[in-house]
Amino acid sequence: MNSAKKLYLASSNSGKLNEFSAIAAEAHSTIEPALLPGFSEIAAFPEDAPTFAENAVGKVLHAAAITDEAVCADDSGLVVPVLGGPGVHSARYAGQNATSAQNIEKLLHALTGRKGKERESYFICALAVAKSGRVVAVITNRADGIILETPSGSCGFGYDPVFYFPPIGKTFAQLSSAEKNLHSHRGKAFRRLLEVLPGML
């Protein structure tokens, strides 16, 4: 077996590291995720591009400037087609420093009176990897669901409590970490990245 290759995450979020590490272990990957040393010291990247992929690429090139090692950045969010959003503004849908509860409240208000297909939605995740200042991979994936009228479940984060996933009859906030890694947009995107990345590093 090849020796493990480090993949530094452009993040200081240990929860994200745990999620990606669990997926890599389950996939028996030679890629070993780790938090990027010094990430918390660099200036925040303004995620103001119109697409998730562009934000991920901008973020990874910004972070990769401090190392020659492989770095991964992600951008993800919720899309409700009937609303045309919130999309890349998901985290700040109800305002720059909005809480998840405030974002959910605004979303449910915007969908008042909407039924059936009008409540269809999807989470999307874009992952970008750069090494030595050059982008080597961009992967996107999605998970399709329906926005409930009231939140359900206490796990997860963000819009998970109102995102109902029909294939297993639960919201993302009702899933265990292992279940969510299997079905989520981020989990699917990262597993695909693990398939293609070893030959690129």
**Confidence (pLDDT) at 54:** 95
**Confidence (pLDDT) at 198:** 83
Q: Which domain does 157 fall in, by range?
A: 5-196
Return the CATH number at 134: 3.90.950.10
Q: Consecutive sets of 10 residues in the chain, 201 residues long: mean pLDDT of each?
A: 80 85 91 92 86 95 93 95 93 89 95 95 96 93 96 88 95 91 92 88 71
**Confidence (pLDDT) at 137:** 94
168 within some domain: yes
Residue 175: both structure tokens together: 């899933």
167 within some domain: yes
Buried b (16+ CB within 10 A) or exposed e, 160-176: bbbbbbeeeebbbbbbe
**Confidence (pLDDT) at 35:** 95
192 within some domain: yes
Element housing 43 (H / E): none
Residue 62's beta-bridge partner residues? Answer: none
84 within some domain: yes
Q: How many domains is the chain built from?
A: 1
> How many CA atoms, within 13 angstroms, populate the side-chain half-sphere of residue 186?
26
**Confidence (pLDDT) at 156:** 77
201 within some domain: no
Active-site residue among 48, 68, 74, 75? 75
Of all residues in the chain, the percent with pLDDT exceeding 90 is: 69
12 within some domain: yes
Contacts with 154 (C-beta within 8 Å, 6 or more apart), sequence order? 161, 173
Contacts with 68 (C-beta within 8 Å, 6 or more apart), sequence order? 131, 132
Residue 74 among the catalytic residues: no
Q: Cβ of 109: how many Cβ atoms within 10 Å?
A: 9
Q: How far is CA 83 from CA 46, 78, 118, 201, in A?
A: 24, 11, 9, 40
146 within some domain: yes
Of all residues in the chain, the percent with pLDDT exceeding 70 is: 99
**Confidence (pLDDT) at 1:** 42
Query: Cα 200 to chain center, whole Å?
Result: 22
